[in-house]
Amino acid sequence: MRVLVLCGVLGLAAVTGPSPAADEATVVERIRAVLWVGGFAHDFDAIAEITREFLPRQAPIDISVVHDGGFLDEAELPDLIIMNHCIESTEGILTEARQKRLLDAIRGGVGVVAIHASYYSFTKWPEFRELFGATFMQHAESDIQIEVRVVDAKHPVAAGIPTTFEVHSELYESTPLADDCRLIAVAKQVGGDKEWPSVWAKPYGKGRVVTLLPAHWPDAYRVDAFQRLIVNACLYAAGRGAAAEAAEEAK
């Protein structure tokens, strides 16, 4: 069930007209999201804690943190799935029934934001790769600064994002993006020259999938520009893309 709340000046994703009692107040639907974390080589607990702090403050999103695919057994699925995991195998996490329900849900319109290593997960499940339109190849050093550069400033995911910003991460190198991917930002190691796709959006049936390849380290999730990128991606994937621009105008 989606929840209606009264929201003030930001007026994100309004679903009714202005309130007669307050010109600036609008009623918005809260986005029900799961933040799916877990796996190896990352401090997912710290990342989840930071994400739960900033995301509901900056957008009308209610977050439940999960560590496996059990949420796919529920009668009602979330509006948005935020993936931030690095899980090699589906064993013990995603049964065949859960795998089917996940893909069917996204085809049906459930949004996905896949952060950092998430697009690497479930390496022996080829249908999962199709969600993203690209596959992880390699990364070099993990403890570096990367520079993210917006290349499609008109996309809602890029609304209010500086043309360039830096985060503490590792630089992921991927296969070429599929034709139906829309590249939004690229990244390179600070001081380097070679840029790689870093942020892109892709349709999957009626669903919207946004892939964000930054960032490996928890401190990156306290960078204002990266937080804003995650907020915008969540709004867009959940079908609230125009709301990201409205939020910037209201600041």
Residue 1 has what pLDDT? Answer: 43
Residue 242 has what pLDDT? Answer: 56
Residue 59 has what pLDDT? Answer: 96
Give the position of tokens 């600070």: 190
Which of 176, 189, 191, 182 has its CA nearest to residue 148? 189
Q: What count of residues does the chain have?
A: 251
Q: What are phi and psi of 88, to 5 degrees?
A: -75, -40
* Mean pLDDT, contiguous 10-residue spans, the chain (251 residues): 42 39 61 93 90 96 95 97 91 94 97 91 90 84 90 97 95 92 97 94 97 91 97 96 46 41
Residue 29 has what pLDDT? Answer: 84
Residue ranges of domains in the chain, CATH in brackets: 3-250 (3.40.50.880)
Residue 241 has what pLDDT? Answer: 58
First to last CA, the chain: 30
Q: 3-state SS string over the chain? A: CCEEEEECCCCCCECCCCECCECCCEEEEEEEEEEEEEECCCCHHHHHHHHHHHHHHHCCEEEEEECCHHHHHCCCCCCEEEEEEECCCCCCCCCHHHHHHHHHHHHCCCEEEEEHHHHHCCCCCHHHHHCCCCCEEEECCCCEEEEEEECCCCCHHHCCCCCEEEEEECCEEECCCCCCCEEEEEEEECCCCCCEEEEEEEEECCEEEEEECCCCCHHHHHCHHHHHHHHHHHHHHCCCHHHHHHHHHHC
39 CB-contact burial (10 Å; exposed 0-12 / middle 13-18 / buried 19+): middle
Residue 28 has what pLDDT? Answer: 75
Give the position of tokens 């999938």: 209
